[in-house]
Structure 1
């Protein structure tokens, strides 16, 4: 093979940009920012002496036209005709053919030149030769009807196989006019092949090249090992495939997924890889933020320290860099030797080495070094995801570690089709912030910005969220801002993060109202916005909101609601902020002058009233519920009211309902039959069907899933699985293990705890695994699916609402009922007989048949035409005519 002569070779610089044209470097027609950024990019490329290569499917004349029309910078090299021609610029400005490449392609097709190939394909109907200027000595191009494209491609492939033609085929549909396009190239030929040949001939290493592209035709080059830019307008499938290929190959920091389209995306990527000047403004985020493929900006708040250094472990070397102390005690600095995936830790002025308080990932747990994470590295596909309206929420609560046998994000993602089939519209994930040990409910988080290492890497959680959105499900995350866990909490070594006057039973309370609280409050607000922005979450549930102690005004919770609301207004996605209040806290649901309302509150009164009705001797809450509470709880949605947990009598509930101008407040209540707390607060973590019966669960589920609040289902409930879900926690500190084991018994002294599962035992966690096929009750799943479908029908037809509902109890028949009046005057009626296991099974009762039966949890023997028989723990749902 001939190689380019010395005369043919221009001088190459150390930085080379190879870029596609259409959809990549060429500005989009409706994007003036692209045009402005093209001028900036061209000037920067020239001033930095970057060698520029255009790689395009266009033929030579068309490429020249595009350069002039769009005022593109003049390339040093031009690869065109879908990689079958290479030209380089001469000193006089002209582009000259690289003959050595032509000879290279000629050797590939020597056995069958293009003219001979054309003869072989002439018998295929539907192929239309493209214009002569679009043909080439090594390229044969056709038009075809888009509807026939796949069929014609198959016929061509058969002909190529029959004749042993040394050609490969690529095809696409022209996005501008819809024509089918077919190109036949020398076997293995492509834009990527031409670039690889050029790199080899010029004795270059792949690291010298940055390639930018947007389409499937660019994918081979994007995944060839070069540093690569995928512009923001690229099809998400291209971004995903490039991401997957780089990850599989183990290439770190070679792929940049631009946030902006076309020219601006190229400009963005060139800054990232250092081909041009980097962005001058530095991020104000805490933690380690990559600002380039090999550079990271560090920012940590340590007002009590005179000196802070960051130590970066690159695998083979350790670099130490002193950070500069600025205003308000923030230490900052850019470290050019710190790339994403490198591990780092902070060395304080007393020599102590600690992980980053705002670490994005702790690969070795709470005591180990932090890891630099690139927040822009994941190829999201949910750009058009709008979220789920509050009225349409059907929430499924799960614990990542116990949801599957593997106990990680990847395994949880594989289970999503099942949740979608059930009718779930939102997944609520118990806390995923880094906790100590091997298992934890999640409420002992100490690295609030880092996903738990045993669940997977940050991108694994993003993939879970992305898959949920693709399946039509929102994702809500539990976050804990009332305390920090007791082990691995190094925050106080950096600054006054902990309150000296407020305390919690679980760990240090945050300092929201003492000196230094301004920065602590910002730390927590930044954390909430971080989950919503970096992980595309659809909402947050604030754990134990009444324990977020703050004597200042506005309180941290109010500031949090304000800033989350502002963020929600800035994006095209519905965001939900939910408070765990465990009762009706009217202030939380009302907008006021100095604060905004929560979108929803956990209100457990109906759930606990159901437990109290069936199991009057069982106590799984700190508040007392009575066997007669359920009727009023259904009618008004609550038993206890306000932050001081007042028990409200029926007359007071009526007054509160009137003051609320109806009962629409109920539609902001999160209502469940079971939650992690209700199951976990039982000594053995038993579920309601184990304490009562499956028939009882079916009957009670109709009250919660067809109630006008927001229904929540706890994982495994839909299958009535027998796997327990007791409280489990693991600490590396032995004294903490012992303390939590004994403290759990003291928390609920009313139980007999002799045979309960110790929270720190490994069996306690492993027995809680949810996905055991032979434990599943498929009939229960079908029942839940049917109830959810009826609920969605009720919302669509507008009869399932709080203001159209009446609820009550008939003591003679022991039937609880919900009645929903339609605008037409007809009604949908839910009638359920709930009989606890301590009661003697009652005889069946005969009740008037009202209309047509929509659903029944058991077979319905009819006494006569006007009455039906209702057995204990049976529910019937009917619609009047």
Structure 2
């Protein structure tokens, strides 16, 4: 077989394989090449560059001994797929379920996650979004310290394990979105630097050095990341990618990396005959992110929308510290429900400047919204989740909103287990300073930072879901609420209508209640600790979080902290 590696500035590259050292031949474009008889699937190998090493392959498909071990040849064609009838899943009208493989189950493997798919089928989600699976140092990590980006964490089950998981999801009718990180690499086990100019030479973000996307010899660096994305979609049958923190991609080229990636993915979608989605995590509130390439945008299918999260969180929790301060009123919630974002050029007090632009004309399905996710829980010092009552109210609004809803694992039953930040760095200086580094990252967020040590194994073990909670009455009741909300969303076209200009919101001047009209359907929520009566005509209660919620001639009667989905009788319905 042929081994290749890009090392444009090297004077000599050697391949260590089959207990031999072989000189590689320099070729065009900085690529080095060697042909080795007898090598094949499973063969271990490393490279030495100008006498330094040994190093794993930058494009290693497998790291069976972890990030510090040799690479192994992996033949994608050896896996037998069973998803031949899978035609893909469009993001429009979909519901996403985010999970972390290591804490989703007790065993923390792809195989164990497969056993929980019937739960997700009954919940009726359309996609699972799995947090990054690239190899990381040690045995536990969120995944954003990944290196060897073409490989799969062996702790979870390696490349075959990921393929088995995707195959099982497709057989269950569920698409798979993979979280990938292209704005930085982890601080430990990153051996790209000896091979070439992969990095830009400056700190691109709080998390590490910027990737070289627009400097000298950056063409091949860009191909490294684009090729990685195509690998997941093509060779692993992944249906979409969530691109981590794209605002930390430093690219001044006329064609941004995201636009280049969107064009490549669109071409792959045409050849595979199934829709492929790109979802950007962006802090920019820039509608160009989700505009099509031919309209001058960056071509992303959708983007995460923090503004919706912040407004929902403030409404159900009462918090208003740090970046929540601009979102603490129901007026802010009303604006995000009708305009997609709060900051559309307005002043952001957290940033102390104007922020964002208008999303007018952008359909809501291009904005992925949530009540909880790994960041918003895990970035709290105690990793604490919302209690059950706030979850009821928040999910009622989220799952009837014009956006693409996303749930976080365990949210649907009100999991009591935290989701803490955890890592397992091998080097003592990284392990010992991880907690202090994490605290510095959130300086100014308004937290009294008293967090467990991320390097302690207990932080990881405490974050594993406790599936026995589902059997408890209050948790089972919340799970049924989520199931009913999702079923109602899928049954009533008004609730999945993505047109933001069709959403109307009415507010109580005293800040107690909010009424969101979705066509002829109303979603009424009472945030206060007192019962309220909304002056609405008689109609039908389609779904209620609490008893007794009634609709009489005197109005819609809501108990304290309750939500209902209601439709006026036909002659009382609002006119468009």
TM-score (norm 2): 0.92
Q: Deviations over 1:745-801 (max 9, x none)?
A: 122234554532121111111100014313661111111111111111123897564
Q: Is residue 460 of structure 2 the alignment partner of residue 765 of structure 1?
A: yes
Aligned position for 1:630: 333
Counting only pairs closer than 5 Å after superposition, residues 472-871 of structure 1 correspond to structure 2 as: 472-501=173-202, 503-582=204-283, 584-593=285-294, 596-617=298-319, 619=321, 621=323, 624-628=326-330, 629-641=332-344, 656=358, 660-661=360-361, 664-689=362-387, 694-749=388-443, 750-753=445-448, 755-774=450-469, 777-795=475-493, 801-812=499-510, 814-821=512-519, 827-835=520-528, 841-845=529-533, 847-862=535-550, 864-871=552-559
What's the offset of the Cα at 1:612?
2.4
Q: Is the 8 A contact 1:585 1:642 kept in 2?
A: no
The answer for unaligned runs of 5 or more in structure 2 is 570-576
Contact 1:828 1:877 in 2 (8 A): yes
Instruction: Give the direction of change, closer, same or farther, for the CA distance of 1:385–1:862 in structure 2 (3 Å limit).
Output: closer
Deviation at 1:578, TM superposition (A): 0.8
SS of 1:411's partner is: helix
1:294-313 → structure 2 map (5 Å cutoff): 296-313=1-18
Shift of 1:321: 2.7
- RMSD between aligned residues: 2.5
User: CA–CA distance in 2 between the matches of 1:419 and 1:688?
Assistant: 21
Partner of 1:352: helix, strand, or coil?
strand
Conservation of the 8 A alpha-carbon contact between 2:147 and 2:186: yes
Matches within 5 A, 1:170-189: none
1:684 is paired with a residue whose SS is: coil
- The answer to whether the 8 Å contact 1:562/1:596 transfers is no
Q: State the match for 1:289 in structure 2.
A: none
Distance in 2 (CA, whole Å) between partners of 1:727 and 1:341 is 34
Q: CA deviation at 1:347?
A: 2.3
Q: 1:733 to 1:799 in 2, by over 3 A?
A: closer
Tell which has more relative contact order, 1 or 2 (C-alpha 8 A, sep 6+).
Answer: 2
Show the counterpart of 1:63. none
CA distance in 2, matches of 1:701, 1:718: 9
Structure 1 residue 807, shift from structure 2 partner: 2.2
Q: Does residue 567 of structure 2 align to residue 873 of structure 1?
A: no
Structure (1 or 2) with the larger CA radius of gyration: 1
Q: What's the offset of the Cα at 1:556?
A: 1.5
- Partner deviation per Cα, 1:236-259 (whole Å, 9 max, x = no partner): xxxxxxxxxxxxxxxxxxxxxxxx
Secondary structure of the structure 1 residue equivalent to 2:438: helix
Per-residue CA distance 1:331-352 (angstroms, 9 max, x = gap): 1122112121121111222142
- Residues of 1 paired with 2:169 and 2:534: CA distance? 45
Instruction: Give the counterpart of 2:20 among 290, 299, 319.
Output: 319
**Using the alignment, how far apart are the partners of 2:292 and 2:222 within structure 1?**
21
Distance 1:482 1:752 in 2: 26
The range that moved more, 805-814 or 342-351, is: 805-814
Q: 1:508, 1:808 → 2: CA distance?
A: 47
Contact 1:531 1:537 in 2 (8 A): yes
1:458 aligns with 2:159: yes
8 Å CA contact 1:413, 1:464 repeated in 2: yes
Structure 1 residues 350 and 319, CA, compared in 2 at 3 Å: closer, same or farther? closer
How many pairs does the alignment contain?
560
CA deviations over 1:555-600 (Å, ceiling 9, x no partner)? 2122111111111122211100111114632111222456542110
The structural deviation recorded for 1:738 is 2.6
* Corresponding residue SS for 1:453: coil
Shift of residue 621, structure 1, vs aligned partner:
4.5
SS at 1:345 equivalent: strand
Change (3 A) 1:536 1:774: same
Cα distance, 1:384 vs structure 2: 2.6
Preserved CA contact (<8 Å) 2:258 2:299: no
Identify unmatched segments of 5+ residues in structure 1.
1-295, 822-826, 836-840
The answer on whether the counterparts of 2:337 and 2:500 sit within 8 Å (CA) in structure 1 is: no
Q: Label 1:587 to 1:335 Cα distance change in 2 as closer, same or farther (>3 A).
A: same
**8 Å contact from structure 2 (residues 318, 328) kept in 1:** yes
**CA offsets 1:416-457 (integer angstroms, 9 cap, x no match):** 111011011001011111111111111111110011111012
